[in-house]
Structure 1
C-alpha cells in the first residue's frame, strides 16, 4: 500500500480520495474547504495544513483543482508540492491545457520530481462509482508506478504518450466534443419542438437513429428533458475548457470555427449568472431565443 497525497477534494476529488482509502492506501489530504477535509478524515484520511505538508508525507501526490492558475500555485509555489521533502511523483487530474502542464513538468523535473498529467472523463457520477476514464501523459516509468493507483478510481486508464501535456490535449478534445454536441443537439431538438414535434417522441427517435450520442442519451434525455440539470460539471468549467481548447489550437495552428461559436453560448450563460450552475443549463440560452423548452409534456 502507498502513502498518497491528495490536494483538491471538490466534486470529483473527494470521491477519488475515498476510493484510494477503500483500496487500503494511506491518504494525506489538503483543501481550502475544511468541510471536505473533515469528510475525508472521517473516512480515514490524514489531515494536512497545506500542499507542502502533503508533499512532506507522500511520495505520490495527486491534485484535482479548478483552474490552471491554482494548479501552478499549488505545484510550484514556495509552500507548494514541489517544495516537499517526500514527493517523487506529481499527478495532476485537473484540466489545465498542454502549455501549463508542460511548464509544470519542466519546473518539477528540476527538483527531481516526475510529473504526469492525468485529466479525467466521466463526471461526478464516474468519480463516485470509481469508473472514471484517466488519460495520462508523461514519463512511461512514472505511469507504470502510478497506474495501480489510478485503477482505484478509474475503469479506463490509458497512457497516451511520453510527452507531457498529451493527456491534457485528449481531455480538451473530449470536452470540446461534449460542449459542441450539447449546443448542436439542443438547437436541433428545439427546432423540432418549435415545429410541433413532441419532445419525448423526438428524443426517443434520435436515440434510436444516427444522430444519437452521449449528449442526446445522457444529457438531453437523462437530464434536460426532465428539467433536472444534474450532469455534475459546472458551466464556468466547461467555458474554461473551451477557452483552453482555443488557446492550444491557436498555438499549433488548428482550425476552430465550431469551437469559437460554441464558446459564445457558454460565455452568454456565464454572463447570465449561471457560471456556478450545471453546464447542461446552457440550453436555457437557446430556449430563450427559440421560445420553447425541451421538457416532457404533461
Structure 2
C-alpha cells in the first residue's frame, strides 16, 4: 500500500497497522482489528501463525521493520522481555523505521520499559506506549480487555480508537512504565488468587470432599470471583483450551518480586505464591496450562482429571 492509500484509509476511519506477535492473545486481537476494518500487517517469529491470519484479511510480513513501515502504529503482544527487545532493537527490528507510535501489550518490567522507550525515542523518534492487558484470551476475542497504559497522554489518545477494537476499558495510569507497574499489581492479585484456589482444591480433595463442587458451593460468598469460577473446573476436569502457561505467570511474578525489592515493599503473600510457581516450574510444569499449578499442593491428582 502506498502512503497516499494509507492516508485515505485513515481518513475513512480505517488505519494501516502493524502487529508483532500472533500467539494466544495476539491472534484474537488482530482479528478484532481486521473486523473493525483496519489493514493489519502481521509479523510472528513462527511465520505459519502470521500466514494463518491471511484468511481473515491480514498481510503476513517477513520482519518487524516491515510490519512498522508505513503503519500508523505498530503493536506488540510478545512472550517476554527478550522477545520485545529483539523485535524492537534487533537487526530487522522496528527501530529501523523512523517516527510513529509503538504500543506494547506484552508484560515486561517497568524499568525495561522506561529504558526501551528512551532508546527508541532517541534512536528513531518513535513514541513508546506500554499498554499491558487483562482479561485473557476470551476477553481478547470478545473485545472486552482492560488496558492499563503508560506514556504520553496525547499519544495514547491517538491510538485509543484502534485499541478499542479489542478493549472495553483503556486507562492511562501515568508516564512510561506505569502501565507495566499496574499490570504487576494486577498479576499480584491474579497469581496469588490462582495459587489460593489451587490450595483450596487440594485441601478439599485431601479431606475427602469432591473439589469440583467448590465453585458452586462458594458462589455468591466472599470467596467468589471470576477466577474461582474459571479455575475450579479447570483444576478438576478436562480443559478444552489453554489460557496461558505456568511459565508466563512465573515471569510476571518474578518481575513483581524485583519491583517489590526495588521499592522496599514487603509482600509476604507474593513470596509464598512465587514459591509455588517456582516449584511448578522445577517439576516440569512450565509449559503447561496455568491450572496445572494445582499439582503443587495436589501432586497425586488422578491423571483422568485432565485432558
Measure how far apart 1:261 and its partner are.
1.7
> Counterpart in 1 of 2:131?
118
Moved beyond 3 Å, runs of 4+: 200-203, 291-296
**Matching residue of 1:147:** 160
Aligned 8 A contact 2:29 2:140 in 1: yes
* Alignment partner of 2:111 out of 99, 102, 113: 99
Specify the alignment match of 1:80 in structure 2: 93
Structure-2 separation of matches of 1:219 and 1:174: 17
Q: Within 5 A, what are the aligned runs for 1:209-288?
A: 209-220=221-232, 222-228=233-239, 230=241, 232-288=243-299
Instruction: Identify which of 153, 178, 190 aligns with 1:178.
Output: 190
Gapped regions of structure 2 (runs ≥ 5): 1-13
Secondary structure of the 1:273 match is coil
Alignment of 1:25-174 (within 5 A): 25-85=38-98, 87-110=99-122, 111-161=124-174, 163-174=175-186
Q: Could you say if the C-alpha distance between residues 20 and 292 of structure 1 is closer, same or farther in structure 2, counting changes exceeding 3 Å?
A: closer
Deviation at 1:268, TM superposition (A): 1.6
Quote the Cα distance in structure 1 between the aligned partners of 2:267 and 2:130.
Answer: 24
- Structure 1, unmatched stretches of 5+, are none
Identify the match of residue 207 of structure 2 among 191, 195, 213. 195
Per-residue deviation, 1:193: 3.4
1:195-247 Cα distance to aligned partner (Å, 9 max, x none): 33343444322223211123212211x42232428451111000000001111
Aligned to 2:27: 14
Structure 1, residues 106-163: CA drift from partner, whole Å, max 9, x if none?
11221321110010111111122222111111100000000001100111222222x1
- CA distance in 2: counterparts of 1:77 and 1:192, whole angstroms: 50
Aligned length: 291
Q: Quick check: 1:60–1:88 contact (8 Å CA) kept in 2?
A: yes
**Under a length normalisation based on structure 2, what TM-score does the superposition of the two structures give?**
0.89
